[in-house]
Amino acid sequence: MEKYEAMEDIGMKERQADVIVIGGGLGGCMAALAVAKKGLRVIMTEVTDWIGGQLTSQAVPPDEHQWIERFGCTGTYREFRNRVRQYYRDNYPLTEESKQNETLNPGNGWVSRLAHEPKVALQVMEDMLAPYVNSGRITILHEYKPIAADTDMDRVQSVTVQHIPTKTTVLLKGSYYLDATDCGDVLPLAQVEYVTGAESKSENGEPHGLEEANPLDMQSITHVFAVEYFEGEDFTIEKPAQYDFWRQYIPSFSTLPIFSWSATDVDDTETMKEFTLFPNDKGIPSLWDYRRIVDPSIFEGDLFNSEITLINWEQNDYYIEPIYDVPEEDRLKNLEGARQLSLSLLYWLQTEAPHLDGRKGFPGLRLCKHVLGTEDGLAKHPYIRESRRIKAVYTITEHDVSKELRGEKGICQYFDSVGVGSYHLDIHPTTVSNRTFYIPNNPYEIPLGALLPVRVKNLLPACKNIGTTQITNGCYRLHPTEWNIGEAAGYLAAYAILHHVTPHEVRENPQHLEAFQTMLEEQKLQLHWPEEVVEQAKIR
């Protein structure tokens, strides 16, 4: 599919649609799709030339829960997963065994039941939007970022976006505005009340909250890259400018350098976890097949000369400083720092990383530039775990999802649920306190109240920027949940327009809430977990 630059007409100063979606990641794409399915027009912007966010431009295979093959996601997310597998069956020379495998995992990576190439995800996402793009209901503006917003009291009047390569600006006007950016970039522009970083224990009573809130204590970002390996070859890159710094850097929560095959177990700080690069017969976990996205054994012939894996490890989590709500020079410095960290990790792997037999370095590692569509082999955009979060009508806290805190009460069920999800409370090292933890949780629901700003009436979050705390963001940030959030937000905006009500009125009015939830179920959004999961969650 083309990127529709011809349709964009970057010389046009103003464009209008029923709904404006800023951000073309998973949440943004599904929000746009939901709006279009209800017969309305939508303009969606995206900062890169690839839609799809986490799955494509950020190169993160889907993190999913144990029931994903049967239930626990929206119908469109299941359609996406089915389409990815079918894409391989239709277009790749699979072995007969792989063709018949209903749960085909293209890369056989152990992080996901569907580890696959970002370009395949991109193609499938574009195909899912194609009918509505081609009919004119969805217009995609690639390589645009929000730079300003006009507001009047509790309503957004317009959002101005800028074409990154040419600096041309376009004024976007709609009835509703959905912020689907990875950092919640529209929130400060539109003067929407929001929270960043770590809350204090006193704010929400969360046991893992800080003693004192720190808005700049945000989760790390990661600049993912793809590599293949050829034994006996040498593809060592030029020594990165910041290599000496990163080579000796020791995180505050560890006694070892960041570049090491050992890491502190976040569940038991007295225990060290040991890793190595490749699978072995010594029982030491390998990181190579962790996020492997190409496994040549599933193909006939020699389509791929090597396995391909994505490097998104603890060793290239960047948590020196945050990248938003800081001066622009600091934002750019830290984005480059994350990039330098990843390149330095690659250089360390190529030159110094210990083998199990005592040798050092794997010079046969080669950056796969074609896999991520970039000249340097790094993802088009860093993976952002934590966004600005709206101050919401309802804030999801640790008490809603923690298995220990919920106890025999099990899953927290909401009267206004708009979806479901499940993942552990997974907090990567943060930028100030460097805290990190991994807390068992119950499967969860997504309350509509968490999608409603406390004041603004026509802006909705459609990504990782809903009303969570930093802690609960740790589980609500994953692929299927972001997808569900965006889809629900899109349908909410459409419902509000078609029924001449505000999203807040939908929640407050029992008749509208019932009608809206019925609409979601008709569109195959699962609002509650099956009884078998509900009962299982009550067992301690």
Tens place of pLDDT for every residue, the chain, 540 residues? 444 343 444 445 899 999 999 999 999 999 999 999 999 999 999 999 999 999 999 999 999 999 999 999 999 999 999 999 999 999 999 999 999 999 999 999 999 999 999 999 999 999 999 999 999 999 999 999 999 999 999 999 999 999 999 999 999 999 999 999 999 999 999 999 999 999 999 999 999 999 999 999 999 999 999 999 999 999 999 999 999 999 999 999 888 999 999 876 555 555 678 999 999 999 999 999 999 999 999 999 999 999 999 999 999 999 999 999 999 999 999 999 999 999 999 999 999 999 999 999 999 999 999 999 999 999 999 999 999 999 999 999 999 999 999 999 999 999 999 999 999 999 999 999 999 989 999 999 999 999 999 999 999 999 999 999 999 999 999 999 999 999 999 999 999 999 999 999 999 999 999 999 999 999 999 999 999 999 999 876
Q: What is the pLDDT of residue 8?
A: 45
What Rg do the C-alpha atoms of the chain give, in angstroms?
Answer: 23
CB 34 within 8 A of CB 523: yes
Q: What is the pLDDT of residue 270?
A: 59
Q: What is the pLDDT of residue 273?
A: 84
Provide DSSP, 406-423.
HGGG-S---TTEEEEE--
Token readout for 326 is: 């800081």
Question: Going by C-beta distance under 8 Å and a sequence separation of 6 or more, which residues neighbour residue 49?
Answer: 3, 142, 143, 373, 380
Q: What is the pLDDT of residue 9?
A: 47
Q: What is the pLDDT of residue 3?
A: 44
| Domains of the chain as residue ranges with CATH | 5-52+138-198+387-537 (3.50.50.60), 221-384 (no CATH)
- Report the alpha-carbon distance of residue 23 to residue 20 in Å, rounded: 10
Given the structure tokens 């569109």, which residue do they identify? 523
- Report the alpha-carbon distance of residue 189 to residue 179 in Å, rounded: 11
Q: What is the pLDDT of residue 454?
A: 98
Q: What is the pLDDT of residue 263?
A: 73
H-helix or E-strand containing 539? none
**pTM of the complete model:** 0.95
CA distances 268 to 93, 261, 366, 424, 499, Å, are 45, 17, 35, 16, 53
**Phi, psi values for residue 505, rounded to 5°:** -65, -30
CA distances 472 to 197, 207, 236, 401, Å, are 12, 12, 40, 8
Q: pLDDT digit string (tens) for 14-45?
A: 999 999 999 999 999 999 999 999 999 999 99
Q: What is the pLDDT of residue 425?
A: 93
Q: What is the pLDDT of residue 1?
A: 42
Q: What is the pLDDT of residue 30?
A: 98
Given the structure tokens 């794997």, which residue do they identify? 362
Q: What is the pLDDT of residue 51?
A: 98
